[in-house]
Amino acid sequence: MVHGIVLAAGQSSRMGQPKAGLRLGSAGPTFAAAVSRLLLDAGVARVVVVAGAHPEAVRAAVEPGPDVQVVHHGGWAAGQLSSLLAGLDAVDDPALAAIAVTLVDVPLVRVATVRMLLDAWRQSGAPVVRPAIAGKHGHPVIFDRATFAALRAAPLEVGAKAVIAACGPRVLNVPTDDAGVLRDVDTPAEYAALLDGQRLAGG
Centre a 10 Å sphere on the Cβ of residue 62 and count the other Cβ atoms it contains. Answer: 24
What pLDDT, in 10s, does the model give residues 26-69? 788 999 999 999 999 999 999 999 999 999 999 999 988 899 99
pTM for the whole thing? 0.94
Rounded-to-integer distance, Cα 127 and Cα 147, Å: 6
Contact status, residue 79 vs residue 159, Cβ threshold 8 Å: yes
Burial class of residue 170 in the structure, from the number of CB atoms within 10 Å of its CB (0-12 exposed, 13-18 middle, 19+ buried):
middle
The alpha-carbon radius of gyration of the chain (Å, integer) is: 16
| E-only strand ranges, the chain | 2-8, 46-51, 68-72, 98-103, 128-133, 136-137, 141-144, 172-175
| Helix, strand or coil, per DSSP, at residue 2 | strand
The Cα 49–Cα 24 span in angstroms is 18
- Domain 2-201 homologous superfamily, CATH: Spore Coat Polysaccharide Biosynthesis Protein SpsA; Chain A (3.90.550.10)
Checking if the pLDDT of 203 tops 50, the result is no
Residues with Cβ within 8 Å of residue 138, at least 6 apart in sequence: 106, 109, 130, 131, 132, 181, 182
- Tens digits of per-residue pLDDT, 113-133? 999 999 999 999 999 999 999
CA 20 – CA 74 distance, rounded (Å): 17
Mean residue pLDDT across the chain:
94
Q: Which residues partner with 175 through β-bridges?
A: 132
Sequence ranges of the domains in the chain: 2-201
Q: CB-based burial of residue 49 (10 Å sphere; 0-12 exposed, 13-18 middle, 19+ buried)?
A: buried
pLDDT tens for 2-28 read 999 999 999 988 898 999 999 998 788
